[in-house]
Amino acid sequence: MADSHKVPWTARLRDPRFRTIFFFGMASGLPSSLVFATLSIWLREEGISRTSIGVIGAVATPYAINFLWAPLIDRGRLPGLCRWLGQRRSWIFGCQMLLVPVVIAMGAQDPKTAAVSLAVCALLVSFLSATQDVAIDAYRVETLKPHEYGTGAAIAIYGWHCGAFLTGAGALYVAAAGGWMAAYIAAAAVIGIISVATLNAREPEHPPELTASAKNVVDWLNRAALAPLRDFFARLGWMAVLVLAVIVFYKFGDAMLGRMAGVFYVDLGFTKIEIANYTKSVGLAATLLGVGVGGWVCIRLGVMRAMFFGAVLMMVTNLAFALLASSGKDFGLLATVVFFDNLTGGMATTAFVAYLSGLCNVAFTATQYALLASLGNFARIQLGSVSGWAVDALGGDWTLFFIGVGAMSIPAIALLWLLVRLMPRIDRDAGSPSA
């Protein structure tokens, strides 16, 4: 691929690198949905309380702390698989093969009589998925050139949402026809099929810092864990604190909404098929459109400005759920709110991923990206775990809950405004601050 910023999207989509990134995005989205939206709907149908559903959502914590073992994925080599597939693909494929039996085991549990076993299985799914994500994110950053990060982010998110759709809407359709066990077996089968893309992918070239052998354990720890942190703060200086604050607060509103969305739909009286038809299908179409728009905005306006507009729009759409809550079971309003929420979410997420990619040094890709992404995930997961309690504390008043969710976007908007003012020159291609 030529190093031109004017390469058309159609040409980039013909590039085998981007096709691989799409399938890796699917691989990342498939298990994620099983421990977020789909699990919440399953538990609510079984009569589990909103507070308990929120607490169980804490099993997604590995997504927030995977930076702790990211150095191992950057430097550690899996015996046998690494020699066959290479550093990145070996970790991706290994996680995928372990996910298949664990997802099946998760579907075999009864939420009423085996809640602990279900939580353990969900935790294992989260751990394997979060580990896979570290290697996938590193693969994307190492495979692409900086000016391709915006497009790469968009395509990865396209894939993620297609995967999440299969284990979201797809799982609901299968569950409605054959039960939840059948739904999770089908999800496991899809994960196994997608793993073929890992075998067909091309391992990226790694920088010398990644492939060099360590002299001893201390040297290994220095290269794997300490060097990536020193590099990040050395490049950004004191502005690193502001950048990290933006990452933490950016998805605050969506944290509360995401965990309780499925529960909210069930409480309004929507069935599994209706949720699949109106929220998952419409949501997927809107997200895919939003991701494309987000990629275009990143190229035209710069990544940080795209993030700013995305944060504002997310606040508005989160508030729209308050209108839906006050209106009750309204199919037209549901479709409208879901469409615009997913449209703006796709735009914002594309900009966010492109920004994180641009902040990474390719010498420490897995560790740095995992650390940055984990900061954002930590806020989402921990806030999401108390979202059910918040609804119950408000007496089940969903309208008031969503008003509060919308207000939680204000800190991110203020921080982004400040960041754009302090860094007026923006690298539009990589999404990182210009020197």
pLDDT digits (tens, 9 = 90+) for 313-342: 888 888 888 888 888 888 888 888 889 888
Cα separation, 146 vs 320, whole angstroms: 36
Of 97, 79, 95, nearest to 134 by C-alpha is 95
For residue 45, pLDDT beyond 80: yes
In this prediction, residue 7 carries a pLDDT of 54
Q: Are 288 and 158 in contact (CB under 8 A)?
A: yes
Mean pLDDT of 411-431: 65
What are 121-168's pLDDT values in tens digits? 999 999 999 999 888 888 887 888 777 776 777 788 888 888 888 888
User: Per mean pLDDT, which range of 91-100, 211-220, 387-396 is the poorest?
Assistant: 211-220
pLDDT score for 366: 62
Q: What is the pLDDT of residue 207?
A: 57
Bridge partners, 426 (sequence order): 433
Range of 58-67, 156-165, 234-243 with top mean pLDDT = 156-165
Bridge partners (DSSP) listed for residue 433: 426
What pLDDT score does 427 carry?
A: 40
Does residue 211 register a pLDDT over 60? no
Residue 132 CA to residue 75 CA, distance in Å, equals 15
| CATH ID of 15-202+212-422, from 3.40.1440.10, 1.20.1250.20, 3.40.50.1220, 2.40.10.10 | 1.20.1250.20
Mean pLDDT of the chain: 79
pLDDT for res 86: 78
Of 57-71, 87-101, 254-268, where does the model show the most confidence? 87-101
Candidates 87, 64, 86; CA nearest to 75 is 87
Question: Per residue, what are the HEC states of 306-327?
Answer: HHHHHHHHHHHHHHHHHHHHHH
Residues whose CB falls within 8 Å of the CB of residue 217, separated by 6 or more in sequence, listed in order: none
Confidence (pLDDT) at 10? 52
- The answer for residues whose C-beta is within 8 angstroms of residue 68's C-beta and 6 or more apart is none
